[in-house]
Amino acid sequence: MRHYTARRAARVLLVDAADRLLLFRGFDPARPEGGRWWFTPGGGLDPGETYAECAARELAEETGLRLTAAAFGEPVHADLTEFTFDGVWYRQEQRFFLVRVAAHEVDTTGFSEIERGSVDGHRWWSTRELGATGERCYPPDLPAVLARALADRSALVDIPAAGNLPLSERSAVVDDLTLGDNNPTVAGDPTC
């Protein structure tokens, strides 16, 4: 019987003005021969942290884009996934936020040691490219998740000038987020 470590995570669907999605490419350092996959910025919640606070922290660490938690809207998607990474099996509940920037030059200098050792690239993907690729992506239904989020737009957070507004000009109020009746689903095969 497999033992899972429970984890909650926030992920960010970061799109540019052309609705291209930023994805990182990485691999499992415990099994580098297992191939590579594409995934959104984000990571696990720290103790006491809300999903929005985690999304803001992870976005700053992984891309250099600094936003307050209050700058994030409501999550646009939630799921439950099981995976192994660096020798540990995780059962992860994750919520996705949609953020648009005019443009952004990705700065990965905030990567943790494990990220520096397991992420080997990033790129911006159009929805057409995402739908047509045969490469592995997480979540496996990422093209559909992105299409729904972009079509709805009610939760879109549009950041002018690549998010370069001073943080002092943004509200610091942070509310704990809930998804109401939106129950997470278990992710399956990770092919885009």
Q: Is the pLDDT of residue 172 over 50?
A: no
pLDDT in tens, 135-162: 999 999 999 999 999 998 766 677 765 4
Q: Which residues pair with 79 in a beta bridge?
A: 94, 185
Give the number of C-alpha atoms closer than 13 A to the C-alpha of residue 93, restricted to the C-beta side: 10
Q: Ranked by mean pLDDT, which of 114-118, 156-160, 171-175 comes out on top?
A: 114-118
Q: Is the pLDDT of residue 192 over 80?
A: no
Q: Is the pLDDT of residue 79 over 70?
A: yes
pTM attached to this predicted model: 0.82
Query: What's the CA gap between 26 and 23, in Å, rounded?
Result: 10
The structural domains of the chain, ordered by start, are 5-104+113-165 (3.90.79.10)
What is the per-residue pLDDT for 115? 95
What is the per-residue pLDDT for 57? 98
What is the per-residue pLDDT for 73? 86
* Averaged pLDDT for residues 46-70: 96
What is the per-residue pLDDT for 160? 65
Q: Is the pLDDT of residue 182 over 80?
A: no
What is the per-residue pLDDT for 184? 35
Q: Three-state DSSP class for 189?
A: coil
What is the per-residue pLDDT for 147? 93
Residue carrying structure tokens 């592995």: 136
Could you tell me how many residues make up the chain? 192
Average pLDDT, the chain: 84
Higher-confidence residue of 125 and 182: namely: 125
Task: Map 10-39 to HEC letters.
Answer: EEEEEECCCCCEEEEEECCCCCHHHCCEEE
Tell me which H or E stretch contains 148. Answer: helix 142-152
Q: Is the pLDDT of residue 125 over 90?
A: yes
- Residue 103 — pLDDT band, cuts 50, 70, 90? confident
